[in-house]
Amino acid sequence: MEDPRYAARVLQTFMPDGRLISIPAKNRKRRVILAWLAEHFRPAQRYPESTVNEVLGRYHSDYAGLRRYLVDEELMQGRHPPLLASLRAEAGRRDSRRQANVI
């Protein structure tokens, strides 16, 4: 879990108007942004790829890059085909991170 003050600064820097101006290059900052984006999905619910793209596209034009980072950071899980997304419930997770599933 990231320090809330640090997370707030990162969000303000990279999303001053509620839209992501760029995807952070540094992993720690990018992880803050990705965790914030992951909160826009309900745990244990499946989402079609088009819905995931639409939600991520509200915040940055490179929704595919954001989706890939979410998978890479294990906040989302991907399997093909078809590409669907859902969030995993936190129950039983050792580090209690919220994790999404792209199935």
The amino acid present at 21, given as its one-letter code, is I
75 compared with 28, residue with greater pLDDT: 28
Give the model's confidence band at 85: pLDDT under 50 very low, under 70 low, under 90 confident, else very high: low
Q: How many whole angstroms separate alpha carbon 89 and alpha carbon 87?
A: 6
User: Across residues 16-37, what is the average pLDDT?
Assistant: 96
Dihedrals phi, psi of 53, to nearest 5 degrees:
-60, -40
Confidence label for 79 from pLDDT (cuts 50, 70 and 90): low
Per-residue pLDDT at 9: 97
Whether omega before 48 lies within 30 degrees of 0, making that bond cis, reads no
Q: Which residue has the higher pLDDT, 49 or 10?
A: 10
More confident residue, 23 or 46: 23
Q: Give the position of tokens 């580090």.
A: 95
Q: Check pLDDT > 80 for residue 69.
A: yes
Token pair 């101006």 in the structure block, residue: 21
- Tokens, residue 48: 């079609």
Nearest C-alpha neighbor of 102 from the set 32, 51, 59: 51
H-assigned helices in 3-100: 4-14, 27-38, 49-57, 63-72
